[in-house]
Structure formats: structure tokens, C-alpha cells
Chains A and B, each alone.
Chain A
Amino acid sequence: MTPRPAHAAAAAAVLAASLIASDPPRDLARRVRSLSHYASQALAVRRLGGSSTDFDRRYFILLEWARPRIPRDAAGLAVFPGGELPVRGEYLTIYEFAPLPTLVAPQRVPDGWLALVYGRRRPEGWRVIQELPGGALLEPTPNPGPTP
């Protein structure tokens, strides 16, 4: 082999090594274990065990409990996480309930919307439709109080 092709082969090897080093597959064993553990589980359980819920898995459990219990004619859902929710938590919340219009901790709940509260707080002026693990699904009373 003449020097230039040999140099090119060496540069290609360096490139491949650098690409691998940029995101080394150290996670491979963990991923295989995770896949074999969760593959037989339901989709929601697989998401529960995944990266998108690692900020607070109990919060996701509440979302999953609430989802099938929201009346089909609900106009929208305001979710009150009760504390600081990371941006990805907001995205996950809105994605989970899609296509239902969903807001996270809005200043004001639009008329006709339901509320989902994470935690023990049960605000006045809102009636509990259903207690759920980690929170409750609420609807406004005829004269609702302040935002939950």
C-alpha cells in the first residue's frame, strides 16, 4: 500500500474511534438488561421504567391513573404538579394527555376544564371527581374558588 492510502486508512480508524468515544457504548449492558426486563410489560410500565419519567415516577403514575378516567367530553385538563416540574415533565404531561388540550400549572383554568392535582392539596371550590394514587381529579363547582 502506498503511503497516502495507508494514511487515509489510519485517519479513518482515528475517525471511527473518535466517533465511538464521543458516545461510548457503556450503557449497552444496562440497556440489554432493561430491554429484557421490560419487553414483556405493558407500554405504560415500559415508559414508567424509562428516561422520560426519571424526574418523578410517582408523578407519572398519577398521570397514567388519570388518563382513562377523564370524561370523553372534557374540554381540557389543567395539571398542577404541586411543585417545581422540569421542562421535560411539562412536555411529558402534555404529550401523555394528547390530543386533549392540556396546560401545566396555568394562572387561570379555562372554563369547562378539569384539574389534576398532584399531592394532598384539595382546593376549595373544586369538587373531587376521583381520588387517585398520588393526587386527585377535580372539576369546578358552580362557583369555583381560586386556581387549585
Chain B
Amino acid sequence: MSLLLPLLRHAAVLLAAAAAGALVAAPWVPGGGRARLASPERAAWGMAAGLALVAGSFPLGLLVGRPGWIPFLVLAGAAAAASLLRPASRTGVSDAHAVSAPGAGRTAVALLAVIALGLALFAIRALTEPMWSNDFLAIWGLKGKTIYALSAVPRRLFSDPALGFSHPEYPLGIPFLYAGLASLAGGWDDHAAAVVFPLIQAATLLALAGWLRRRGVPRPVVLSAAAVLALDLPLYTASRVGLADIPLSFFALLLGTSLSDAVDGSDSGAPVRLALASALAAATKNEGLFLAAAALAVGLIASRRRDGSPRDRVASGRRRGLALAVVLPALAVFVSHRLWRGSAPLRDFDFGLLAPARWGELASRMAETAGQEALHVLLPSLAIVAALAVLFALGRRTPWADRLLAIAACAAAAYLFLPSLGLYPGHPEMGPLFLVRTAVGRTLSALGPLVAAGLAGRLGALVSGAASIRRTAAAQPSVPTPTTEARTP
């Protein structure tokens, strides 16, 4: 069969799932009430919730007998009903900085054209051929195809030493997404299924733009950030198609934005969004679990600093809610995976190096790793790093945006350190060098959306001339009162 029909079928399934997700998300995503389902942020959260429904419907189908549309509709209906029972989340919203400068319209058109170019470029790269990357064939695609074809999660995925290369310790969110998509689209098609990646890119741009606009960032800055992110070719490139990094980059952005909203108590739906983002990140990659932990630390520190008084009941209640929203979903994902697959240690690392007796060895490995990273990661991307540093320095301190950068910094530090613990028995490039060459650049690139949002927030304060743009009024997280936000001129 040719590509076109399966491609349309897969795209239709994903868009239908996103529409169902938007319905589920409507009460807890700000955007002007339930009637307005199509705001950028709602579309983005709709896609996130839709991906969760597609992936979640497959294990549900395994439990009730047969994966497919029935478990999907049951899950979507239950989620929508539960969601609609709660009051809608309300905030004062966006477009606070209408651009009236001469030429602003032309600038906006030009930036939108660049965004469209980035989307088209990645769509062509993603859809040129069936998914082919090593990690798709060896890990994500292999597990998804096996699970789909057997309508079961066979033990040998976790216990067969011959399948050790497929990383039994990785979470099953992406394999379940592939299996769920195949069951809804009518068959396993590893070419048509690649359409999920351009759609995730589009959803990431919508999430970025919608959140920044709601936070009052001027439109030219928002569009510029989206344009640069659309051209983030180290992330949106052909070799990342089929892997977990692009979905994780989307969920990391959602995690960061919802965490920042929850810290500020921007709206009553923020903790729900945070919980969904935490679950999605943890179910996608092990790095997602780390990102959730980093978000928790950043959120607790930020809410402490802002309120100043640890005894303050509202602040402590918000901190507790924030902690539960991050920890419980991530823990539920972690425990369910643990029950399903049993104990599976991280395969590529020797954590024994962290023992004090081996600190000398660790120090020499860290030095070796730093040298290799300078050579293989920093040097080739020196201009990118320099431009990011300049943009950071030019921006203004903006707590709600800086939180995203803090999460990204935690993750980057961990990604840069982890190769020091690298272990790859039998491989000719055993040790740190292998991980530096194959993993560090790729994992760092998944932080792109978080960094773009954080920097745009800081630069928005610079451009609007108000460091305090859009600090959303501190509404109670559990009380859906409309916020009264001062609009900066």
C-alpha cells in the first residue's frame, strides 16, 4: 500500500485524539472558558492529553481483552467526565502587549513564515522514509512492534539477555504510544506513524507561544522564540524521528510551564497540568523522572523564596499541592513499570563509582569526560552556546521564566556528568567516550523548548521594559477565582 492513505489515517487518529484531549484539558487549561477549545495552549495540552489517551488505551485494552477504539473511547470518556466535573480554570489572559510599532505586522508575517518553514522542513525530514534510527529499530520500535503484534507485554523484553541492547530499564510510554497508534490506525506502519513527530513539534510551538502570550510576553518576542525553536535542527532532525527525545522535549516544556504556573498559583488548573506533565515525562524516558525531580526541587525553592514566610498557610498549602502534583504521577508511573518489568538496573552506568572509595577513579573519569565533551559537544556548538549565553545575559531576571532555565540547568548538569559513570562492556569505545559521542548532544537538545521559553520570558521583560510583566496574581490553587492582572502598558 502507498504512503498516503496510512499517513492520513495515522494523522486523523492523532488529531482525533488531540481533539478528545482538548475536551479533557478544557477545564484545566486557561484560555477563555470551555467554549474556546482552540487556543494555542489548549491545542498543545490537547495533543499532550491525546497522546496520553492513545498510549494509555493500549495497556487498558490488554487488561480488558482487546486494544483498539473501545478502550480508547472508554478512557477518553472517563477522563473527559472526570475533567468536566471540576470548575473551569480561569485567568486574565494574554494579548496584553498588542504591537503597534510601524512594521510590526510585516515582522510578524516574516516570523510566521520562518515558523512554517521550520515545520515544513522537519515534516519532510520526518516522513521521507520509514523510521530508521538505530534507537528506533533497537529500542522504541522493537518494543512497540512486539507489544502490538502480540497484544501483550512479553517477559522476554525484560529478561532475555539477548535483548539487553533494547534497554529493558527504559519506560514503556513510547512503545505503548506506537502500539496504541497502530491499534487505532488499523495496523503497524512504521512510516506513517512518523507523523506523530511533526505534530509534536507543532504542539511544542503552540505550547511555547500560548504560555508566553498568557504571561504577557510581547508578540514579536514570542514569535521570534517560536521561529528559532522551529529551526532547532539539532532537535528536529531526521535521526531523532522514532526516538523519545522529541516527545520528552515537549513534555519537559509542559512540565516547566505548569510548574511555574503552579508556583505562582496562576490558575486553579495548574496542578492538574503539572500532574499530567510529570506523568508524561516519567513515562517517556528515565531522564523524565529526573526532570520531574528537578522540577520539584526548583518549585519548592521558588515557592519558598517568593513567599518568604514558611508558616504562611497558603504558601505551604501550595507547596504541598505542587509536591503531590509532581511526585504522585511520576511515582505511579515508576511503580507500575517496576511491577510490570521487575527490577532493571540502568545498563550503561557504573554507579559504584559514586562510592567514596572510588572517588579518585571518578575524578579522573570526570576529567576525561569533560575533555571529550569540550571536544565533541561544546566545540561543534560553540556559536550556539555563545548566542544562548548572550541572550541570557541580555534578558532580565524574571522568576517565572528563570524556573524553566533552572530545570534545564539541573538536567544539563546531570547529562554532562553521567558519561563519567559510563560503562559499555565489550564495546571498542568502552566508557565515557561512547556516551559523550552518542548521547550527550542528543539529550541536551531535548532541553531546547525549555530553554527557548525561559529565555523568551527574560527577553520579554527586556522588550516590554517591565521586569515585572505578568506576575499572575496569586489565586488560590483550589479556588477558581479570576485573576486580576495588571496589564503593562
Contacts and interface: CB of A to CB of B under 8 A. Distances in A.
Contacts of A49: 129
Nearest to A40: B2
Most chain B Cβ neighbours within 10 Å, of A16, A21, A32, A34: A16
B146 A39 contact: no
Interface in B116-142: 121, 124-125, 127-130, 132, 134, 137-138, 141-142
Interface stretch (B13-21, B384-392, B429-437, B475-483): B384-392
A51 B237 CA distance: 14
Contacts of B137: 52, 88, 91-92, 94-95
A25 B150 CA distance: 39
Interface residues of A, number: 45
Nearest to A54: B132
Contacts of A85: none
B391 A19 contact: no
B200 to A, nearest CB: 18
Consensus secondary structure, chain A interface: helix
Interface in A88-106: 88, 91-92, 94-95, 98-99, 101, 103
Consensus secondary structure, chain B interface: helix
A41 B462 contact: no
Nearest to B390: A11
Interface stretch (B228-236, B262-270, B302-310, B350-358): B228-236
A8 B462 contact: yes
B391 A11 contact: yes
B359 to A, nearest CB: 34
A43 B10 CA distance: 15
A101 B233 CA distance: 36
Interface of A: 4-5, 7-9, 11-12, 14-16, 18-23, 25, 27-28, 31-32, 34-35, 38-43, 46-47, 49-52, 87-88, 91-92, 94-95, 98-99, 101, 103
Interface of B: 1-4, 114, 121, 124-125, 127-130, 132, 134, 137-138, 141-142, 145-146, 149-150, 154, 156, 160, 162-163, 165, 189-191, 224, 227-228, 231-234, 237-238, 380-381, 383-384, 386-388, 390-391, 394-395, 459, 462-463
26 contacts: A4-B394, A5-B463, A11-B391, A12-B228, A12-B391, A15-B391, A16-B227, A20-B231, A22-B234, A27-B125, A34-B128, A34-B129, A35-B128, A39-B2, A40-B3, A42-B1, A43-B1, A43-B130, A43-B190, A46-B191, A51-B132, A88-B134, A91-B134, A91-B138, A94-B137, A98-B142
Given A27-B125, A31-B125, 19 more contacts: A5-B463, A11-B391, A14-B387, A15-B388, A18-B387, A19-B231, A19-B384, A22-B380, A23-B234, A42-B1, A47-B129, A47-B190, A49-B129, A91-B137, A92-B137, A95-B141, A98-B145, A98-B146, A99-B154
